[in-house]
Structure 1
Amino acid sequence: MESRYGGRGRCLVRTTTEPEARRDTVDVVDDQRGSRPGAPTSPSGSPDLRPRTGRDVSGVPHATSSGETTWYDLAREVFLLGADPDRVHPVGGAAFVRSAPRPAYSALAHGRRQSLGLPPLRDRRSALHEALPRIRKESPA
């Protein structure tokens, strides 16, 4: 599942808001912590880095919003912005069948971006607050 909360397509915020009106509770993984890309600040690649840094840059530096959280805490934040967060229940990752194992900790460092002189991306909460009204509007009722 894509974890950014901007643009179109699947993301945890959409996945959380869609059953909000249809189900009494939502079970969300609480034993996996990581970085959550925000919106719409994540670059699609590195071609635009040369003008910003003045040098050739190989690879793509990590582009996540600052801060880290669990999927459960992110879902509660979504509910806090429009529903009762007590409807979000924590569960272990083993409760969901996945095609690949998920690490317990997957927060990304921002050192490469800093070494290139790139500004940090904004905090994940401000990106969520900006994106959520649009996501709610676009989600089917």
Structure 2
Amino acid sequence: MKVLITGAGGQLGKEWVDFCKDHGVSYNSFSSNELDITDEDKVAKTIADLAPDVLINCAAYTKVDEAEENKQIALKINAKSVKKLANICNRNNVKLVHYSTDYVFAGNKSDKENSPEGYKEEDSTDPVNAYGYSKLKGEEAIKDSGCKFLLLRVSWLCGKYGHNFVKTMLRLGAERDELKVVNDQFGSPTFADQVVEQTFELLQQNKTGTYHLSSEGMTTWYHFSKEIFEQKGMNVKVNPVSSADFPTKAKRPFFSKLSTQKISNVDGVLILDWKVGLQRLLKQL
């Protein structure tokens, strides 16, 4: 299997490069500066020249709050460019692996009551912010393109690279004795190394379609932060607050747990509890 990785400078892209090196997977990788997915001609030429079996797209506009004011930029990168990628993959018989988000769902309280195990892949989507909307439009474009694809939704992504909640908490915890963290948003962290391992297993088994990749269990940002400090042995007092105390430009879903039922039925895929995933990440850091 020969893979081409776009967005290789980001949290997930760097994880993919590490995995390919460690597992002897033939790959070419490009950061978004090296290969801008909005440049259709350059992308088409690169794919034609390198002839990969799989394109792993880790390039995305992920600034959730800034997307509210930059809706067109978010749509350009997360939807229009993804549509072009999918069409190029279709023409060249390349399987497209694309990552999406829990934010395509409404995340309201009734959904938590009706689906305590989390959103299933086929559940109806209804994003509450511009970022989620742009990612949903990208999903729809892939499904309409006719290309072979793996569409993988993740939530609360954390890894050893880039910016994420775990690294932010470790930094703040080293600077302060006391923190306020929201306790009314429910979900489950997804760890970048597991995302790559699970995706590779799906590719090995020639799976297609939509899958949710996340961890077992559910938590809030407050309890997540407490667990981070507990596992690290850091003496930081964490105070639970409501989302109203931390107003943001983009509305956040109250509930964004992704069900791991479908992916857990795939042989060879290991789903870890979020606390175990956190333990692994803290060792890596």
Please give the TM-score of this superposition, normalised by the length of structure 2.
Answer: 0.41
Q: Which residue of 2 aligns with 1:15?
A: 168
Bigger CA radius of gyration:
2
Q: Which residue of 2 aligns with 1:138?
A: none
Distance across 2 between alignment mates of 1:93 and 1:79: 21
Q: Which residue of 2 aligns with 1:5?
A: 158
Q: Which residue of 1 aligns with 2:262?
A: 112
- Structure showing the higher helix proportion among its residues: 2
Which residue of 252, 265, 275 maps to 1:102?
252
Which residue of 201, 206, 209 maps to 1:58?
209
Distance across 2 between alignment mates of 1:90 and 1:74: 11
Following superposition, the deviation at residue 45 of structure 1 comes to 8.8
Distance across 2 between alignment mates of 1:134 and 1:117: 26
Matched, 1:24 2:174: no
Structure-2 change in CA distance of 1:102 and 1:8 (3 Å): same
CA RMSD of aligned residues (A): 2.5
More RCO (CA 8 Å, sep 6+): 1
Following superposition, the deviation at residue 115 of structure 1 comes to 4.8
Matched, 1:83 2:247: no
SS at match of 1:74: helix
**Structure 1 residue ranges without an equivalent (≥5):** 136-141
Distance across 2 between alignment mates of 1:45 and 1:77: 24
Please give the TM-score of this superposition, normalised by the length of structure 1.
Answer: 0.78
Kindly provide the amino acid, as one letter, of the partner of residue 168 in structure 2.
T
Kindly provide the amino acid, as one letter, of the partner of residue 113 in structure 1.
I
Question: Does the CA contact (< 8 Å) of 2:201 and 2:269 recur in 1?
Answer: no
Structure-2 change in CA distance of 1:18 and 1:46 (3 Å): closer
Count of residue pairs the alignment pairs up: 131
- Structure showing the higher strand proportion among its residues: 2
Q: Which residue of 2 aligns with 1:139?
A: none
Following superposition, the deviation at residue 122 of structure 1 comes to 1.1
**Structure 2 residue ranges without an equivalent (≥5):** 1-63, 65-154
| Offset from partner CA, 1:38-94 (integer Å, 9 cap, x none) | 241013895762432xx55123x1110111100000100111122125x11111112
Identity %: 29
Kindly provide the amino acid, as one letter, of the partner of residue 26 in structure 1.
L
110-119 or 93-102, larger mean C-alpha shift: 110-119
Kindly provide the amino acid, as one letter, of the partner of residue 68 in structure 1.
M
